[in-house]
Structure 1
Amino acid sequence: MTDLSAHHYGITVADLDTAVEFYRDTFDLDVLDRFEVSGEAFSEAVGLDGATGRFAHLDVDGARIELVEYDPEGTAEPPRSLDQPGAKHLGLAVDDVDEFYARLPGDAETLSEPQTTSSGARILGVRDPEGNRVEVIEA
């Protein structure tokens, strides 16, 4: 059997430039690469006729986050609460959740102030410009 390793964690967005700016500026992520993919092989691989994808890869401590904007754009799904099957979120670790919270831009949408869970973890929920949930957890 072929050995598996994680390559990237993907998030589909409607506006790639706005999403890149948010993740770069809010979480201080490095943009590793930006590129476009199209053609019949790509369309077949992603199961979308005539698809083109604009991609950005960002680095978070050696993990790659892939943001992708598709053309043609699909219909937006209604937001799902985290208790619904198929719901997604991105988890990012910081040394100090309270310090991170204090440095957030004023227009950043948070779900609450930092909280301490029953397991003792300090967490903060943030939404990106398209409503995707990012969990910030104190490492």
Structure 2
Amino acid sequence: MPAAKISLARSAVIAALADAILILVFAAIGRDAHQRGEVVTGVFSTALPFLAGAAIAWVLTRAWRAPFKTWPAGVAVWIGTVAVGMLLRAATGQTVVLAFIIVALISLAILLLGYRAVIALVTRVRRRSHQP
């Protein structure tokens, strides 16, 4: 397998893992803020609809082609995570209220777009520093 394909595959795996971990962080922070019990299983049950949303967004948008790009991959994963996550929560009888939707949109934007924006900034700075 050519080095470029290995590098892209590695980047996609890292980005997908980062997305999953950050969605779990979002769920953990939310559960902690509401002082809910069942720490480990509770975090996973809260995160599951959002993890499914992220996975669906990754597949539908083929985010693996440019996994660290804020646009379109990051935005697609962010919106897909929230949209599908909320739909799945509603379908399973979990709470979906406007305040939660807003908090999820803002929090997941910071988390899922934030690290991609930092990577873009670091990449840009490195490129500029290596130009003659």
TM-score bracket relative to the smaller structure:
under 0.3
- Normalised by the size of structure 1, how large is the TM-score? 0.26
Greater relative contact order, per chain length (Cα 8 Å cut-off, separation 6+):
2
Structure with greater strand percent: 1
**Higher percent of residues as helix:** 2
